[in-house]
Structure 1
Amino acid sequence: MGQKHNLKKQHKAFKARHATKGSIKAANKGRIEQSEGIAKKHVMTKLERRNLKTQARATKMSALAEKNKIFDGRNGVPRNVAIIPLTGDIDSVKVAEQLSTSLEAVQSNEGAGILSIPKFRQKLRLFIPKFQDFYQIMDAARGADFVLFVLSATEEIKDYGEQIIRCITSQGVSTSFGTIWNLQESLGTQLKEKQVVSSLTSWFTHFFPSEKLYNLENDSENKIIGRLLCQRTPKGIHWRDSKAYIIPEQMEVDSNNNIVLIGSVRGKSLSPSQFMFIQGYGDYKIAKIELLHGGNGNAGTSENAGMDVDMETDMDDDQKAIVSTEFSRLLPAEEAIEIHEDVNEHMEGRGIRVDGHADVTSLVEAKAEDNMIKQSRKLPEGTSSYQAAWFIEGEDYESDEDANILTDEEGELVAAEDNEMEDDNNMESESESGDEEMELESHREHDIEREAKDDLEFPDEIELDPMVPASKRLARYRGVRSIRHTDWDAREYDQRMPEEYPRLFRPGNLIAKGNYIVKNLGFSDVVSLGSKIKIYLETNDTNVRTATEEPSLLLNNGQLIAAYSLLPGEEKLGFVNTTITMDSEVMEPIKSKQPILIQYGPRRMLINPLYSQGGNSDNDVYKFFRFIHPGRTAVVTFIGPVSLTNAPVVYYRHDPENTIERKIIGAGSVQDSDADRIIVKTAILTGLPVKIHRKLITIKHMFFSRKDVEYFMQVPLFTKLGAQGFIKECLGTHGLFKATFDKKIKSEDTIAMALYKRVWPKRAVQV
């Protein structure tokens, strides 16, 4: 056994309780040490915590009392209740009668459809939209304080009923209740009743987890529903309550052909300088507001009854600059933006544009080629400039095979014999044109499915016709080295630019713009919340006057017509960019520019949307989607009235043959109104490597002529396996070329070239 070494000197261990300056400096690695300076947090005592909870409870109770204030008293606003049936066997009129009987309601003399409830000192207004009128149901649910869904105990809820409740929840809904109709009369036994109630409750709580179902045939539960309608505070809809709106009690036309609406101000205070939007009709300018009596809001009092408020309100210069005094969809001509002229359009013989500039190399080669043409020499096809130097000047050299070749209107080559037979076949082609149109119509759906499948497997890839020059077919496209960093001028002139584009409204940041408008307009005490008013709207629309002459539309049939105020600028046209997330029930892709219905805020439009990628880009350039596939998210762009709030958006399928059912496609919200958003369509050309020599590759089947290769020479190349390269030189006359890449290419790789062009949205149509 070895002996333990005991002669080694043992140094005293460093036992300092604090780190040295050197160790601190090494740990900081050059960073400057800063003192935290955090004060010791005060620990609240039990009494302080109890006092804090009491204050929070008092604040909430005060806020609820303030919200319910507009419903109380003699001048209180009626509570709007929409009765929505989900099956066709439900009689909504009997549901309303049962509800009014349980509440011991009496007809009020303030207007048709308004019920007075003496027991709770409240007023209710019941709206009964038709089950077969989808738009009427959506409008009623959007403007109501309470939504009463009625489920049948005997009839199963079908797709149409499910679409109703799904669309209502997507557009935003206030306080909702669920009721069951025909439970005891149809079933009888308690066991069956429990089974039906359990099944319907499971279905209803999927959409409203915190709500329960009430039996309308049970007196006690019927009274509970009535008490909740009279005493509960409606939670409201955020986008709706952020503006002033009116549910008219009367609608008429005065001697000056102005629409006259009588109703109470809801949401926010109303300014006479605003425009009003009547759902189903359009935008109108306020001519005058007559205050009938003040409501229970902060500023309205009964002493102001009979006061007239017109457009001549006291506003400073900044407010007048915000408010538009003339109704116009577009900005004035003097405020239109300047469109930049495309200098490269006037350059003859230019090559393809790369990052906004014409290809100088192609331009020089084109000028040299023009000089050779001026020398009046005809050379055989495929002769290079080196070979042309050996031919004798002044003599023509033509191939006899090309003597019978002609060029048609599209630039394609056709034989002379075919050209002579064209006149003989004109009559036959005209007779067959009708059959071809029918055949194309029958195969339209099949073609869309095939295009969607190809777009999913080979996105943005196109095939060139060998007989059509690529420079002609892709004349509007340009090359881009990086779509995220390219300097693309948003206001560059384009032949397909909409005529109204320079005069479109450009609000910029929606949140900042909305806050600025509300802060500087001073809506405070013009017409306060809860005040009953008579509002005059300027119009020459005969359809609205005809509708007002039929009070059954508004009063007898239970249709809810709401008039919403617009923030200054919301009557203008602009780019409307909204997000869309495909509904889980939609299993087929939707093609871009295919007509769909959109509902954002109070508006409902028929649009031909452009789908593009989401996110934020520094250069405001976004990729265009030919299809939006199930489960994906995109941005929808169209030209229409802008929205300065992030209102919810619902998309419906447009079917002109079926005007009753509307199938939901997806939902989203308003993103912005950026008119400088550049949506670019991508076209990817692909080729195959023929010969590989290290990083020098010979490529075929991308182009079919030498001129096309020279035209697109400056556009960068890439492969599907991640290599980057560029065209080095042309080979022959059939579109072959050599290219170099930054790494070795595999034989199974595919060579590609991406080209881009800007696409423009179309104007929406009001529905």
Structure 2
Amino acid sequence: MAGQQGSGHSHKAHNKQSNKSFKSKHATKSNLRDQAKGRTHRPSVKDPASKAARQASQKVQAKHLKVNRKHHAKQVLDKKRSLLDDQRGLFAGKNRNGDRVQRVVAVVPMTEDVSSLATVELLAEATGGELSGVEGYRSLDVPKFHNQSLRFLLLPPASRTSSLFPILDAAAVADFVIIALSSEEEVDAQGETVLRCLTGLGVGGANGGVLGVVKDLPGGNPTLASSTRLSLQSFLTHFFPSVDRIHCVSSTPSASSASTSAMAEDATPAATPSSEATLIVRALCEKTPKGLRWRESRPRVLAERVAWEKTADEEPAAQAPQQDAPKGFEGEETGTLVVEGVGWGDFKVSKILLAPPARPSKRNAAAPSETMSVDGAASTSAPYDPLSLPDDDADSLASTNLPDDDDFGMDEQTWPTEEEMASAPAAIAARERQEMPPPARPGTTPKLKKVAKGTSAYQAAWILDDDEDDEEIAEDDEDDEAMKADGGAQDADEEDEEETEFIDTAADETASVSARPFADLTPEQEQAQLQEYLSQRAARRNAQNLDDIDFPDEVDTPLHTAASERFARYRGLKSFRTSRWDPYEELPRDYGRCFMLEDWRGMGRKLERRQAEEGAEAGTRVIVHLAGVPRRVVEEHNPLHPFALFGLLKHEHKYSIMHFTVQRNTENSDTVRSKDPLVLQQGFRRFVINPIFSQHTMRNGGKGSNNVHKFERFLRHGINASIATAYLPITFGNSPSLLLRVPTTSPDDEHASPDQGIHLIGTGALLSSDATRITAKRVILTGHPFKVHKKTATIRYLFFNRDDVEYFKPVQLRTKGGRIGHIREALGTHGYFKAGFDGPISQLDTICLTLYKRCFPKWGRVWDGRPLPIVSKEDVQQHALTAAADGADGAEGEVAME
């Protein structure tokens, strides 16, 4: 029994661990991975987990069926063949005129010792063809290469300042671009600018439409010739990676053949100059030009002849100005009802006629045709049927909208009184007799200006009124300079001793200027003073740029002006990223002149599809008549430069708010401020703009949370692009953008500076047309902690009077250490106040109050090629303010500028 008791005894283990069971209703990813053991799981139709899985499996099975794969591959192949046939078909047969469609080739010589005409003549000599044409272009028929026809645009050397825009115009309409290099002279800075501009327009990218040509490699030394060729190839590949070879065309066969045979990596037999020239012509004739995406959606015309003529119903010029001045020219493709004359503006098409063949055959030699005389008068024996005429759906030339005066405060203006209306005829008669006007009515005397002591009336006359919205940026800089000239933010009692005086500029301006004898300076003295002024302005701008880098957006509070008045147009935001800002609040009048688009991108795609279905057949020679063209367009046109027309899509003549990205050119170190006058090359269009720059927000399609973006005073270098905003005609599509700074004087001016070249500021692309995008300028007022007790501090130097403290009390404070606070109460009458923060602050911390104001650009216009003004209104204000602060006495030649 004892044995039974011993066998029945058991000891309970108290240290046994019992884990919770795994309650997941499905297998884990690691379990499934372990079970698969590297096998790929394929869904099965026979055993689906659910209805959705069954449908997905059926789609996968149908996609991977062999017959479906064959059909899909055939569809892709047919699509590629159709696209290739469309591209080749334009140059394969003949057009409606019975001519071969010419391939347009732009020849760009990079140095002065290279001639575009000589290069084309060597190409024609190698193929045995004959050149024909007039100055500016040459035509070459190549029967042995698929009976193709080439049209060469002869361009001036790229080293000249005046050659940049003709080269860009030619590249915009050309199918191929030949870069003619020299083996003796290097490409200068202006030539590199031309190459960078061509790259910015997309020339020579994926389309591979750039060919490199060099003339006369060094002879007698094969090693030197080979190294020269490789050096030129490396230089050109830096700008155009698709260029894999530099071809040599020369009249000395020994140099080129020796250099070619000396190249170790070239496995082909030695090529003679004539054979390399033949290879170039063969590539031009057989290669299919892919074109540029931004120009393929618009018709374009390259003019052969340009003439100006009067209309039949036009009155004599002595009685009425010439209103209708059609201009007819022949081209190669089609035009639309509103076209852009590159560099001249927008014109309306009156009619498009079918042009006669360029070289009529013997069969059609006796057929009637329409020709144009030298003076532009057309003689027609049998008129052709028009290909296109304006209809009711044609776009008009109305570029701006008519703003509603009620929306911009015009309803607050009073109508003239009966007394003013009655005295108007007498005032007009007195003005015609050059008599003095009657005494001014009470309350209408000229206002007085507050200037520094020692400022003469002549200097005060240059200080302009800052009552416009487009001068707001200059106001901040002027106040900063004035405060720096006064000695900065010092004690208020010391600053009260500064004396000011009031000058009646309207009464003393004429007397002071007329009493001072004016002496004309010699051209050398004027040029020296101008260069001195420009150097001083550049130094001042560089100093402002460096100051903005070290202390971004920080502005000193004005000492003698209330901050509530100085920053009356600013507002405080709790969060710049999320706070709501009404985009239609306090808009300038220019906003009412613009057309607003709800869906800019969708409308552009719709209009591009419609444009592709309409118009004349591509490659047709036409005669386009334009209405309302000034005679100076033909008179000022240089026949050596190409004259091109681009058809505009509907609404592209109307102005709107356009935004485009800008990436600074790393080779340019100029200081670029917002609202600086610049030239914008937007695809094939050119404008003069004064853009404002802002940060590029990548979230939410570039809009962010509230579509509010920080204003940038300067366009800086870096990996991040900026956004430029300007009032411009609408352009659909992501066309490339080039920002250029052109010379302030004509290149032909004898007093022009040697560095007066065209500088590429930056490149980018069109972003959008969004009227609700807000560009907010930030201003940071800084103060100093006078006394600190844990989370409470007494702040000074942020304001200088008690009223400003009460005015800005709702605005949130922050410190550079990351603390957030608010104004509690004002202390005394000198701007001291007590503030509370969300944590302890340091005595060395800086208190910041951030304010924002919406900025707007200036109105843009089409650039006519003339030099931009040297001195702007902001420069005059800055110069006068600096001279007044320094106590200048207004000596002759210092502020007498135009």
Deviates more, 1:223-232 or 1:466-475: 466-475
Structure 2 partner of 1:288: 351
Q: How does 1:37-186 map to 2 (within 5 A)?
A: 37=54, 38-39=56-57, 41-42=60-61, 56-57=76-77, 59-75=79-95, 76-107=100-131, 113-119=138-144, 120-131=146-157, 132=160, 133-173=163-203, 175-184=208-217, 186=218
Is contact 1:294–1:528 with CA below 8 Å preserved after alignment?
Answer: no
The AA in structure 1 aligned to 2:729 is: P
Alpha carbons of 1:428 and 1:747: their partners in 2 closer, same or farther (altered >3 Å)?
A: farther
What's the CA shift string for 1:337-387, capped at 9, x where partnerless?
9737699xxxxxxxxxxxxxxxxxxxxxxxxxxxxxxxxxxxxxxxxxxxx
Alpha carbons of 1:219 and 1:448: their partners in 2 closer, same or farther (altered >3 Å)?
A: same
1:438 CA drift (Å): 10
**Normalised TM-score (structure 2):** 0.66
1:490 CA drift (Å): 2.4
1:172 CA drift (Å): 2.0
Q: How does 1:367-516 map to 2 (within 5 A)?
A: 443-493=536-586, 497=588, 499-516=589-606
Structure 1 partner of 2:395: 324
1:468 CA drift (Å): 2.0
What number of residue pairs does the alignment pair up? 649
Measure, in 1, the Cα distance between the counterparts of 2:828 and 2:154: 77
Measure, in 2, the Cα distance between the counterparts of 1:707 and 1:515: 55
1:94 CA drift (Å): 0.7
Structure 2 partner of 1:745: 841
Is contact 1:178–1:213 with CA below 8 Å preserved after alignment?
Answer: yes
Is contact 2:654–2:729 with CA below 8 Å preserved after alignment?
Answer: yes
Alpha carbons of 1:419 and 1:82: their partners in 2 closer, same or farther (altered >3 Å)?
A: closer
1:263 to 323, 331, 355: 331
1:89 CA drift (Å): 1.1
Measure, in 2, the Cα distance between the counterparts of 1:60 and 1:337: 56
1:6 CA drift (Å): 11
2:684 to 591, 594, 602: 602
SS in 2 for 1:134: helix
Structure 1 partner of 2:644: 562
1:56 CA drift (Å): 4.4
The AA in structure 2 aligned to 1:600 is: Q
Is contact 2:214–2:247 with CA below 8 Å preserved after alignment?
Answer: no
1:464 CA drift (Å): 2.1
Structure 2 partner of 1:363: none
1:720 to 816, 829, 832: 816
SS in 1 for 2:581: coil
Is contact 2:298–2:611 with CA below 8 Å preserved after alignment?
Answer: no
Structure 1 partner of 2:894: none
Structure 2 partner of 1:209: 241
1:613 CA drift (Å): 1.3
Does residue 1:620 correspond to 2:710, yes or no?
no
1:452 CA drift (Å): 0.6
1:413 CA drift (Å): 8.6
Q: How does 1:266-345 map to 2 (within 5 A)?
A: 271=336, 274-292=337-355, 306-313=384-391, 320=393, 323-325=394-396, 327-332=397-402, 339=407
Does residue 1:644 correspond to 2:732, yes or no?
yes
SS in 1 for 2:556: coil
Is contact 1:586–1:630 with CA below 8 Å preserved after alignment?
Answer: no
Structure 2 partner of 1:766: 862
Measure, in 1, the Cα distance between the counterparts of 2:178 and 2:502: 75
Give the alignment's Cα RMSD to 1 decimal. Answer: 4.1
SS in 2 for 1:478: coil
Structure 2 partner of 1:408: none
1:254 CA drift (Å): 3.7
SS in 2 for 1:627: coil
Alpha carbons of 1:636 and 1:474: their partners in 2 closer, same or farther (altered >3 Å)?
A: same
1:492 CA drift (Å): 2.5
What's the CA shift string for 1:531-577, capped at 9, x where partnerless?
222221111412124257xxxx34xx3x2221001111111111121
Structure 2 partner of 1:731: 827
1:232 to 273, 281, 287: 287
The AA in structure 2 aligned to 1:515 is: R
Runs (5+) with no aligned partner, structure 2:
1-8, 30-48, 251-272, 312-324, 359-382, 412-493, 520-527, 698-702, 748-755, 864-898
Is contact 2:339–2:349 with CA below 8 Å preserved after alignment?
Answer: yes
Alpha carbons of 1:240 and 1:654: their partners in 2 closer, same or farther (altered >3 Å)?
A: same
Measure, in 2, the Cα distance between the counterparts of 1:144 and 1:417: 67
Is contact 1:154–1:183 with CA below 8 Å preserved after alignment?
Answer: no
What's the CA shift string for 1:567-605, capped at 9, x where partnerless?
111111111211101122233542211222211111112
Measure, in 2, the Cα distance between the counterparts of 1:204 and 1:421: 63
**Normalised TM-score (structure 1):** 0.76
Is contact 2:826–2:834 with CA below 8 Å preserved after alignment?
Answer: yes
Structure 2 partner of 1:529: 618
The AA in structure 2 aligned to 1:606 is: V
1:106 CA drift (Å): 3.3
The AA in structure 1 aligned to 2:599 is: N
What is the identity percentage for the equivalent residue pairs of Structure 1 and Structure 2? 31
The AA in structure 1 aligned to 2:221 is: T
The AA in structure 1 aligned to 2:302 is: I
Structure 2 partner of 1:23: 25
1:718 CA drift (Å): 0.9
Measure, in 2, the Cα distance between the counterparts of 1:504 and 1:417: 47
Structure 2 partner of 1:372: none
Does residue 1:191 correspond to 2:223, yes or no?
yes
Structure 2 partner of 1:402: none
Is contact 1:719–1:751 with CA below 8 Å preserved after alignment?
Answer: yes
Measure, in 2, the Cα distance between the counterparts of 1:479 and 1:428: 45
Is contact 2:297–2:611 with CA below 8 Å preserved after alignment?
Answer: no
SS in 2 for 1:749: coil
Measure, in 1, the Cα distance between the counterparts of 2:785 and 2:131: 84
Measure, in 1, the Cα distance between the counterparts of 2:308 and 2:534: 48
Alpha carbons of 1:239 and 1:450: their partners in 2 closer, same or farther (altered >3 Å)?
A: same
Structure 2 partner of 1:358: none
Measure, in 1, the Cα distance between the counterparts of 2:593 and 2:848: 39
Runs (5+) with no aligned partner, structure 1:
296-304, 344-411
Is contact 2:106–2:171 with CA below 8 Å preserved after alignment?
Answer: yes
1:654 CA drift (Å): 3.0
Structure 1 partner of 2:53: 36
